[in-house]
């Protein structure tokens, strides 16, 4: 089953099962068995990346907005994100990728001419859903909820996907992130990725 995107115009029923985990800016969350929905938290110039493949697992990478400034490398961040997730799931490659950028900015998440075709080539995936803004209108709001068990990413026309999917603060699981150094290949690679990718750690949940 391919990853899908649903833009809600009304509250989702029934709400997804289980407690959700927040993946804040600079963090990576991996759901090993697809049992834990993810909330992206609100975006403020950041890039959201969802990845999945064969099976029910799923991952959400929240790239800090710094990844698009200075000497940072967004293409490298996408590549390293996919390699990291694949290493944790012991797989060769991801099959589906969704990229989200919900805030106004100088390049609207389009730096280095990374269109959907280039992302597919770079990550060797089969499908890309591109939800990056192309103008000043926030078509898909400023956050999303990813439910790996359903292979679905939900956005909301009213701007807050967490509420639209039926979750509240009592439904939140707060995993302890692994704050050990993210496995950058070199200091040079780390300089191109931080702050941006993994500088606040990563976690793995069921």
Alpha carbon 91 to chain centroid, angstroms: 18
Q: In 3D, which of 186, 182, 185 has the Cα closest to residue 196? A: 182
Nearest to 44 by CA among 86, 91, 104: 104
CA-CA distance, 171 to 67, in Å (whole number)?
A: 31
Strands 127-132 and 96-101: parallel
At 123-169, the pLDDT tens digits run 889 999 998 877 677 788 889 999 999 999 999 988 789 999 999 88
Q: State the DSSP H helix or E strand holding residue 161, giving kind and residue range, or none if neither.
A: helix 161-164
Cα separation, 146 vs 156, whole angstroms: 12
Q: pTM, whole model, 2 decimals?
A: 0.92
Nearby residues of 121 by Cβ (< 8 Å), 6 or more positions away: none
CA distance 185 to 136: 37
pLDDT tens-digit readout, 43-100 = 767 889 999 999 999 999 999 888 877 788 888 999 999 999 999 999 999 999 999 9
3-state helix vs strand vs coil in the chain, percent to 5: 25, 25, 50
């Amino acid at each position: 089953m391919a990853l899908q995107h649903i833009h809600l115009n009304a509250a989702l029923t029934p709400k997804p099962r289980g407690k959700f985990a927040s993946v804040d800016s600079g963090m990576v969350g991996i759901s090993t068995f697809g049992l834990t929905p993810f909330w992206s938290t609100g975006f403020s110039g950041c890039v959201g990346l969802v990845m999945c493949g064969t099976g029910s697992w799923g991952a959400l990478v929240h790239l800090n907005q710094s990844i698009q400034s200075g000497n940072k490398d967004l293409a490298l961040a996408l590549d390293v994100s996919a390699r990291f997730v694949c290493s944790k799931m012991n797989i060769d490659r991801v099959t589906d990728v969704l990229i989200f950028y919900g805030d106004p900015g100088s390049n609207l998440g389009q730096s280095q001419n990374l269109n959907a075709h280039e992302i597919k080539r770079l990550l060797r995936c089969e499908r890309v859903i591109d939800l990056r803004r192309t103008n000043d209108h926030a078509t898909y709001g400023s956050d999303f909820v990813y439910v790996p068990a359903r292979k679905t990413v939900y956005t909301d026309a009213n701007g807050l996907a967490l509420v639209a999917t039926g979750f509240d603060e009592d439904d939140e699981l707060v995993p302890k992130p692994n704050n050990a150094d993210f496995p950058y290949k070199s200091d040079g690679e780390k300089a191109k990725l931080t702050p941006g990718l993994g500088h606040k750690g990563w976690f793995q949940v069921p």
